[in-house]
Amino acid sequence: MQHKLDTAMLDKITRNNPDKLSRFVRSVAEYIKSDIVQSFGTSIAPVGEPPGVDTGALRASMKVEQEGKFRCIVHDGVVYGVVHELALNGYPRPFVVPAFERARGKFIEAAKAWGLFKP
């Protein structure tokens, strides 16, 4: 089974408002980073919840880097962030994926508020 994605609306936004779209992408990435930072709990966090703050290094290491006009990377700067996120130690404490999931539900409304498209 093949699926075809209609990108006409996205192509139009990219063509007509590239600078606004670039700022929007950065804004969404910063929102997600902020959500991640605010999600960290107290030590010791229950399994399944974002990590608790011990030294604060993971929370302080969260960054947004722009890679090209329409792409931002949200990442941490410590080696053990992935251990928590992917439960490599057997104790899942996801903090990145849940923030993206929460942002996904607000994405369309935010794009409308930015005037990037009208339904």
Question: Considering the domain boundaries, does residue 7 fall inside one?
Answer: no
Residue with tokens 């980073």: 33
Question: Considering the domain boundaries, does residue 43 fall inside one?
Answer: yes
The pTM for the full model equals 0.87
What is the number of residues in the chain? 119
**How do residues 47-65 score in pLDDT, each as one tens digit?**
999 999 999 999 999 999 9
When divided into structural domains, the chain yields a total of 1
Question: Considering the domain boundaries, does residue 42 fall inside one?
Answer: yes
Q: Which among 98, 48, 54, 111 has a CA at the least distance from the CA of 80?
A: 54
Radius of gyration of the chain (CA): 17
Please determine, for residue 29, whether its predicted confidence score (pLDDT) is greater than 90: yes
Rounded-to-integer distance, Cα 9 and Cα 6, Å? 8
96's enclosing H/E stretch is helix 96-104
**How do residues 67-97 score in pLDDT, each as one tens digit?**
999 999 999 999 999 999 999 999 999 999 9
- Structural domain including 81 reads 17-113
User: Which pair of structure tokens corresponds to residue 2?
Assistant: 């093949």
Q: What pLDDT does 88 receive?
A: 93
